[in-house]
Amino acid sequence: MKGYVQIYTGCGKGKTTASIGLAIRASGSKKRTYIGQFMKGQKYGELFALKNNLYIDIEQFGIAKCIRKEEVTSEYIEKTKKALEQCKGKIINGNYDIVILDEIIV
């Protein structure tokens, strides 16, 4: 089976929305998606909308608010390294058809 990588970049809105759109489209075909969010920790509309979707799992690794690049601390970097290892396990275990690492390249 081929694997594909899609990268959404740019300033401002659209990256998370595009990723969630991909997940929703996949769930319509009963494909499982894992979304690890690295800069978000707050509750927001998409989380509530997808709460009962059986095919999409979302985990947030951010803090209570969406942080900016200049707000990143050494503690946050360590937390992110652990989260990345956890996401690596999600990729390797084969339980998901799609793994989204939201804002990982920030």
pLDDT tens-digit map of 18-54: 999 999 999 999 999 999 998 777 788 888 899 999 9
**DSSP code string of 20-39:** HHHHHHHHTTT--EEEEESS
pLDDT tens-digit map of 73-92: 888 889 889 999 999 999 99
pLDDT for position 65: 67
pLDDT for position 26: 96
Using CA atoms, how far apart are residues 90 and 71, in angstroms rounded to an integer?
A: 28
pLDDT for position 68: 72
- E strand or H helix at 89, and its extent? helix 74-93
pLDDT for position 67: 67
Burial class (CB in 10 A: 0-12, 13-18, 19+), 76: middle
pLDDT for position 77: 85
CA angle 94, 90, 63 (to 5 degrees): 160
